[in-house]
Amino acid sequence: MAGRALIIITLAACAGVAGWTLSAPRPVALADAAGLEGAGDAQRGKVFFDAGGCASCHATPGQDERLKLGGGLELKSPFGSFIAPNISSHREDGIGAWKVADLVNAMQAGVSPAGQHYYPAFPYTTYAKARPADIADLMAYLRSLPAVAGKAQDHKLGFPFNVRRGLGLWKLVNFKQDALHHDPAQGADWSRGRYLTEAFAHCAECHSTRDALGAIDPTYRYAGGVDMDGGGWVPNITQAAIADWSAKDIAWMLKSGDTPEGDVVGGSMKSVVKNMAQLPDADRDAIALYIKSLPARAGPPKPQKK
Amino acid sequence: MIRIILTMGVLVAGVTTVMGQADPIAARKNTMKDVAKANAEVGKIMKGEAPFKLETVQAALKVMADSAKTMPDLYPDTAKTGGETRALPKIWEAKADFTAQWAKFGKDATEAAAKITDEASFKASYGAVLRNCDACHDAYRAPKT
């Protein structure tokens, strides 16, 4: 009897050690961290900032300046509320004291400078595909933006979602740090569009259905689903739904907010358009070309209407 | 017997017609569709898919200005729900603002129509009219479900 208890205790301890080890935050090993510092080009970084939609979440709500990145926006989810942090250049309250390597770690590994996991409400699942040199450009641009004082509130999450260490296990299952591979069948515009979309614009983070653990269900990637934040329905943007939209229609919508049906986009897409409208035409066209190339995928069944 | 059936049929047909005319939800949805359709034609010009045509632009602005005259009356207290409407309850809670937004849309469309005489004035003035659409939709139209 005592022997059995010992075995159980030993097994539990092993599981604990294994879980603790497996859930450890793993920063990226940067070969050239020092070389990236100070190498960024703010002008180029602005494109990644706008394509990445940073302002949509990090701009302080309730004011019009989208470059005041004081944070505070609340993102509701089934797990609780995530509050976007201050990413302004403020040294104490924002990320003004960060090195480029810190931003690379945050975006590519979802790990903070203090070595903690970030929640994937910050879409590092997408940003992980960004190249370090482009992240250095983004950092140069972020440093050029105003410092906003005041830390944002903490996330409002219930147990067990408030245990950050648990994200290590979530990452093991749901987070792949694979870079995009060059597709020789596609041209330079498409490749640029895919890179801006898959490494920055994170369209799929909203226009997909998520499973019970909050990971994107590959069957419904880009095929729409329930809006986690607002309770509406996020549309399918694969060719199953928008085959009658030309690439030009998509690019125009991203610039103006106007759809080829003569309607206007609403909700959080309005804020996406504000970012996208900042991009050079060629980049918007490239994104549109890539979205237009998404294979047709049927969306998830819609809930019965009452 | 046949007379009863015929009478019933006539009655049912009559009731349906009256309902069709007095169905504000259907009427406002049709009006909105007309606006979208006219605007989509202009959209082709804006995207460079169709050559500039003043008539197309003026026609769309007229549809918009006309809609602003009839639409505010299509939201009576009896037509808050039903008929798959995306109209939010807020419309009836903030009726004065809702009506004012329609008036502004109508005014903007009418003024743009007066200003737009060629492609340059079209490019300068048309987009601002459309910003009324998302301002109002954001406040008073439910997201698609």
Contact state of A264 with B35 under an 8 Å Cβ cutoff: no
Long-range pairs, B21-26, Cβ under 8 A, ≥24: B23/B79, B23/B83, B24/B74, B24/B75, B24/B76, B24/B78, B24/B79, B25/B74, B25/B79, B25/B82, B25/B83, B25/B85, B25/B87, B26/B83
Q: Is the ipTM of this complex over 0.85?
A: no
Residues of A in contact with B137 (CB under 8 A): 264, 266
pLDDT digits (tens, 9 = 90+) for B85-103: 999 999 999 999 999 999 9
The per-residue pLDDT for B99 is 97
The pLDDT value recorded for residue B4 is: 56
pLDDT in tens, A86-97: 999 999 999 999
Mean pLDDT, range A47-58, rounded to an integer: 97
Alpha helices in chain B (DSSP H): 2-21, 24-46, 54-70, 90-93, 95-115, 119-140
Q: Kindly tell me the sign of the dihedral angle through the C-alpha atoms of B4, B10, B12, B15.
A: negative
What pLDDT does A9 receive?
A: 83
Rounded Cα distance between B16 and B22, Å, is 10
Question: Residue B18: which pLDDT band, with cuts at 50, 70 and 90?
Answer: very low
With a cut of 80, say whether residue B30 has pLDDT above it.
yes
Over range A6-24, report the average pLDDT: 83
CA contacts within 13 A on the Cβ side of A37: 10
Distance from CA of B57 to the nearest CA of A (A): 13
What distance in Å separates the CA atoms of residue A203 and residue A179, rounded to the nearest whole number?
17
Give B143's contacts in chain A (Cβ within 8 Å).
227, 230-233, 266-267
What is the pTM (predicted TM-score) of this model? 0.86
**pLDDT tier for residue A18 given thresholds of 50, 70 and 90:** confident
Question: From start to end of A66-116, where are the E strands?
Answer: 74-77, 80-83
pLDDT for residue A289: 98
- Cis amide linkage into residue B89, ω under 30° from 0: no
Contact A267 B138 (CB under 8 A): yes
Q: Which residue of B has its CA nearest to A257?
A: B134
Return the CATH fold of B24-140.
Answer: Four Helix Bundle (Hemerythrin (Met), subunit A) (1.20.120)
Residue in B closest to A254 by C-alpha: B47
**Beta-carbon neighbour count of residue A161 at 10 Å?**
18
Residue B87's DSSP bridge partners are: B141
**CA dist B92 to B19, B27, B71, B79, B87, Å?**
22, 18, 14, 10, 10
How confident is residue B17, by pLDDT bands cut at 50, 70 and 90? Answer: very low
Q: Is B84 helix (H, G, I), strand (E, B) or coil?
A: coil
Task: Determine, for residues B39 and A233 on separate chains, whether the beta-carbon distance falls below 8 Å.
Answer: no
User: Domain coordinates of chain B in residue numbers?
Assistant: 24-140
In the sheet with A74-77, reading across from the earlier edge strand, the strands are: A74-77, A80-83, A156-157
pLDDT of residue A7: 82
pLDDT range class, residue B8, cuts 50, 70, 90 = low
Confidence of residue A177 (pLDDT cuts 50, 70, 90): confident
Q: Tell me what pLDDT residue A32 has.
A: 72
A233 → closest Cβ in B38, B41, B145: B145
Residue owning tokens 């009576």: B76
Domain ranges of chain A: 27-174, 188-292
> Is any Cβ of chain B less than 8 angstroms from the Cβ of A277?
no
> Regarding beta strands A74-77 and A80-83, do their DSSP bridges make them parallel or antiparallel, or are they unpaired?
antiparallel
pLDDT confidence of B12, banded at 50, 70, 90? very low
Chain B positions touching A265 (Cβ under 8 A) are 134
Q: What's the CA angle centered on A138, arms A136 and A144, to 5 degrees?
A: 110
Taking the C-alpha atoms of residue A26 and residue A96, their distance in angstroms, rounded to an integer, is 23
pLDDT of residue A15: 82
Contacts of B133 in chain A (CB under 8 A): 263-264
- Nearest Cβ partner of A263 from B36, B38, B47? B36
Read off the pLDDT of each residue in A150-170 and give the average, rounded to a whole number.
Answer: 93
**Mutation to test the B interface, candidates A237, A252, A256, A264, most B Cβ within 10 Å:** A264
- Give residue B19's pLDDT band: very low, low, confident or very high (50, 70, 90): very low
* Nearest-CA distance A306 → chain B (Å): 9
**Nearest Cα to Cα of residue A79 among A122, A119, A111:** A119
Tell me the mean pLDDT in the region B21-25: 79
User: What stretches of B50-118 show up as alpha helix (H) in DSSP?
Assistant: 54-70, 90-93, 95-115
Task: With H, G, I as helix, E, B as strand and everything else as coil, classify residue A216.
Answer: strand
Q: A225 pairs with which residues across the strands?
A: A234
Q: What is the rounded average pLDDT for all residues in chain A?
A: 92
For residue A156, give the H/E element and its range: strand A156-157
Alpha-carbon distance of B23 to B82, in angstroms, equals 10
Q: Which residue has the higher pLDDT, B83 or A122?
A: A122
Would an 8 Å CB–CB cutoff place A233 in contact with chain B? yes
Q: A134-158 b/e with 16+ CB inside 10 Å = b? A: bbbbbbbbbbebebbeeebeebebe
For residue A110 the two structure tokens come to 């979802």
Q: Under a CB-based contact definition with an 8 Å cutoff, are residues B43 and A265 in contact?
A: no
